[in-house]
Structure 1
Amino acid sequence: MHKTALTRCSLLLGLLLPVVAGATELYRYVDDRGTTVLSRQGVPPEHIGKGYEVLNDQGRVIKVIPPAPTAEEMKHILAEKARASSDAQLLRFYSTPEDVERARQRKLAELDGLIGVARGNLQSVRTQQANLQSQAANHERAGRAVPAHILAQIDNQKIEQERLKSDILRYQAVRKAADSSFNADRDRLKVLLGRN
């Protein structure tokens, strides 16, 4: 009889000890079978991502930990953060849509200048190549072999022409992208400033 009373006291003490020790929080979560579980030990790691609730000793919810976002939701959250950061940067750089337009015009003028220089250089290289080919033709008409240095210069001029053509195409692509980007920035700034 004495042993039974001691066992009951131990059991009661075991139930009351967490309350006395201050461990009064309960964790409520749903396990893999869809069963709602109450636990004083916390939420197992595999269930944390599904969200859970923390309850006080009266069973009232004191904190709700929402489920972790899905991959699609996370993608949306990150896109929103990127948009907010981009908007903040846009507002730091420009005060008005007219500021964006001025910056656009400066950038396009700069790129037009680079394209113009590259086209001028291309024309110059073509002229040099034509002169070298004329010299080579004169040698051939006179029955002489074309000197190796002239042939090498002709090849170099051809390579230089290809490089300049490539530069022109690259500058044109950059110009098109810059124009599009500045237009998008101007339109977004109008929205942010309420100037639709």
Structure 2
Amino acid sequence: MHKRPTVISATASVLMLSLGMTTLAEAGMYRYTDEDGQIVISNTIPQPATKRGYDILNSNGRVVEVIPPAPTEDEITAREAEKQRQADLAAQREKDAQLLKRFSHPDQAIRAMHRKLDELRGLIQLKRGNISIISSQLDNEQSRAANMERSGQKIPDATLDKIRRLESQIRDIEREISWQTQETDSLIQSFEADVKRLEKVTGEARTLELDPDDTSD
């Protein structure tokens, strides 16, 4: 019955000794260079000195950790620039991988572009034909209205409505043609960029014209 407190006391002593050793180890010193270039060893370190870097010493005076100097603004800028460069390279590698999944040679991209251009230009040509048909109908309605006006007849509201409707249809189709023409230009620019990148990535040169219908090439 009397041995139990002894065990507790011994355990407490070991725990206190352990805590004491930990505290002693943590109670290190700092070695740094002051503003005059002199090496200083102290249990405290001024804030300006931390930017120049310093050493942490244990109770035996041995270096346990080296804290490097804080980076300069130029170094920070250089690091950020390099970080951005690496991110751009990674993004470009991903884009290249996706591009190579679509095309293995520049000529493949050119053929795909030709097919899309043929589709768009076919639609534009079809809509221009529709404009011709509607314009012919509009001319007939306008001529009929003009003849009525010359003969002193009142132009029917139905005729006027039809003229306005035909004019509106022509404007709508012309806008669609304008959008698709812009889409055609954007398509060519996009494929031209892909072809140039494929030439660089694959090391193969194109053998086909980018746009056979473009006489400026």
- State the partner residue of 2:7: none
Q: Structure 2 vs 1, CA of residues 184 and 145 (structure 1 numbering), >3 Å: closer, same or farther?
A: same
Cα distance change on mapping 1:13 and 1:76 into 2, 3 Å: closer
Q: Is the 8 A contact 2:141 2:159 kept in 1?
A: yes
Match of 1:97 among 106, 118, 121: 106
Secondary structure at the counterpart of residue 155 of structure 1: helix
* CA deviation after TM superposition for structure 1 residue 147, in Å: 0.5
Query: Are residues 181 and 10 of structure 1, via their aligned partners in 2, closer, same or farther at CA, if it must alter by over 3 Å?
Result: closer
2:53 corresponding residue in structure 1: 36
- Contact 2:127–2:173 (CA<8 Å) still a contact in 1? yes
Match of 1:178 in 2: 187
CA displacement at 1:91 relative to structure 2: 0.3
Structure 2 residue identity aligned to 1:34: K
Does the aligned pair in 2 maintain the 1:31–1:37 contact within 8 Å?
no
Bigger Rg over Cα: 2
What is aligned with 1:161? Answer: 170
Distance 2:51 2:64 in 1: 24
Cα distance in 1 between the residues matched to 2:107 and 2:166: 44
Give the superposition deviation at 1:79.
3.3
Cα distance change of structure 1 residues 74 and 195 upon mapping to structure 2, 3 Å threshold: same
Distance 1:80 1:164 in 2: 44
Percent identity over the alignment is 28
* TM-score normalised according to structure 1 size: 0.66
Structure 1 pair 116–146 and aligned structure 2 pair: CA distance change class (3 A): same
Residues 1:14 and 2:32 are matched in the alignment: no
Aligned partners of 1:181, 1:191: CA distance in 2, in Å? 16
Q: Hey, what's the Cα distance between the residues in 2 that align with 1:119 and 1:126?
A: 10
Q: 1:195 to 1:160 in 2, by over 3 A?
A: same
| Distance of aligned partners of 1:102 and 1:10 in 2 relative to their CA distance in 1, 3 Å threshold | closer
Instruction: Give unpaired runs (5+ residues) of structure 1.
Output: 1-8, 19-29, 40-56
In 1, the alpha carbon distance for the partners of 2:95 and 2:163 equals 50
Query: For residue 123 of structure 2, what is the aligned residue in structure 1?
Result: 114
Q: Give CA-to-partner distance per residue, 1:154-184, whole Å, 9 cap, x none.
A: 1111111111111111111111111121122
Matched, 1:144 2:153: yes
Name the residue aligned to 2:71.
Answer: none
CA distance in 2 between counterparts of 1:142 and 1:128 reads 21
CA-to-partner distance for each residue in 1:61-110, whole Å, 9 max, x for gaps? Answer: 9xxxx96953x556544433332221111100011112111101101101
Residue identity opposite 1:192 in structure 2: V
Tell me, yes or no, if structure 1 residue 59 matches structure 2 residue 65: yes
Change (3 A) 1:74 1:13: closer
Contact 2:145 2:159 survives alignment (8 Å): yes
Give the 3-state SS of the residue equivalent to 1:59 in structure 2: strand
| Worse-superposed segment, 97-106 or 30-39 | 30-39
Task: State the match for 2:135 in structure 1.
Answer: 126
Helix, strand or coil at the partner of 2:159: helix
Question: CA RMSD, aligned part only?
Answer: 3.4
